[in-house]
Chain A
Amino acid sequence: MDIDIRPVRDGIKEASDGNAGRNESTARPNDRANQFRSAKNGAVSNGVNLARMHSQNVNFYYGKSRALSNVNMNIHENKVTAIIGPSGCGKSTFIRLLNRMNDLIANSRLDGKIFLDGKDINAPGVDVVDIRRRVGMVFQKPNPFPKTILENISYGLEINGRKDSGFIRHKVIESLEKAALWNEVKNRLNDNALGLSGGQQQRLCIARCLAVEPEVILFDEPCASLDPISTKKIEELILELKKEYTIVIVTHNMQQAARVSDYTAFMYLGQLVEFGQTEKVFTVPKQKQTEEYLSGKFG
């Protein structure tokens, strides 16, 4: 399937810090990371894909049934990429491949490659724990641990070896502030997290994710179980977070995709039908299927 993913420029200077010009083989890992970061918009330079993440000919199977067919997609730095499509189109399967959550599914098989900063995240020797720390995830149903609000956030720091209580305290506050939850919970950090409302729980899950300093955040239908007011808060939060993080969001809700995303991917029956800037996908879709889905003819 051919999908037009042309480099998009939106005024940000590209590869101006000199690193991008270096030969790959002489670049140290940090330089390489900078090189990818500086190539803001996923430009393909000298045949190397410089998007923050990208998938290459990804096929995915649950047993014998094929859930994804030849998906090639770029996830651009500091942008929100929305994946839309009807139920069962493979959008959740795809997003879960980005932090290897599908590793847990028995009898599943991935064919194809997924790259983070140009490195294959499924290559032998890659630590899955490290991938999951760098690529955080927020799930459909808020899933705070049955612990206190404080412990929910400190857990991620502790398992990553941070024992210093001053640092943990600082990080907890910072994460809750970033997740726009601090003012609501600052006086009850030691209360059970399950006592929070659904929307607050979801923001706590976002804070929990932020605490371990991910680079990419995956949202798998984060508002599916929330009321409109909570949904609005999460959407505002996503727009705020994209300044610092690269974001992918799977959503059932087309309006949500239109409101929060910079890029939109439309998937149908396991295939990536269309990918492009959200504005263009929603106003002048190239594919007939996309247009039909967006106009509510099916889905």
Chain B
Amino acid sequence: MTDMVDKQVHSAADRDDPRLKDRSRSRAYLALLVVAVVLALLPLGMSDRVETIAVRTLIFAIMAVAWNLMSGYGGLFSFGHAAFFGIGAYTDAYLVVDHSVSPWIAMIVGALLAAAAGGAIAFLCLRYRLAGAYFALATFAFAMMFLLVVQNLEILHKTEGFNLPILPTYSWKMMQFAQGSRNYYWIPLGILVVALAGTIAFVGSRAGQYAQAIRDDEVAAASLGINALRYRLVTVALSCGLTAVAGAYYTQYYFFVGPDQGFGSGVSIEAMIPAVIGGIGTVWGPVIGALVVGPLAEGITSILRNPPQVLSFLQGLTGLDVAVYAVLLIVIVLFMPKGIYGTLRDRWRK
């Protein structure tokens, strides 16, 4: 048997068959390079206010890319990614404020903790065969528990949260720069680019292929010798770790984190919505979704704060931003279930 297949393998290998060439991967890296360069040059002509929006959007994007790993490629629908964002944000705050650790190290520690927590939660859920809506509810419940625990823990300052000290000197080591420094934009951009490169690599790797096969049909995957639980947990750990990195940067950028900013259910929703709008289970969907949702939310908020003449009746209205993206979410789920990018890609392929 082995001989038989080997014979075939050599015949295919010798010809270096064009059908084997997978250009999508190198094309994706190339696209990423272009996007990275363009986005990196963007802040040169950016006002401080626009930069705030851009940073917020980047944080959205990192979370969405992370959520997409677990829920898009892994097929495990998480409704509680706030748990991992919060772990990242609080680990950073705790280590930086109480122990003067470098935020970079705190970020990594947070990512490891979140990966472990996510792995443990997912293990329990899969061990007890929770699927679909039950899995989503369980993740939601765990995020709520984390929120409540943090609100009641003295060591994490209960409902007060953490304020980061403003240091007298600027340094990369402590991730603090002059106000308005573009570094505050380039750091999350760098994280996003690494996350996307990682996603592209993961999707094409053996582990990533396994994860997608398990998502498509777990029984068939197991019959091909794949340990479904192991590769599901790998995907979950990657997703949760990356989410924690976004959380850590949140704390660094806003100099503050409280229970609701870290663990509130709104955070879980913010991780999910850009991915759904852009297209789950695709590399670019979450980024495109974040590019739509981030500026939309921030843009509407700032317009409402200071509306032009024609829209003056909207002044002081809060809630319009979320209402708009709620409608967008409903419309997308109903009419473009594969999201903006997924739908466009399918149409383009035809």
Pair from one complex:
no
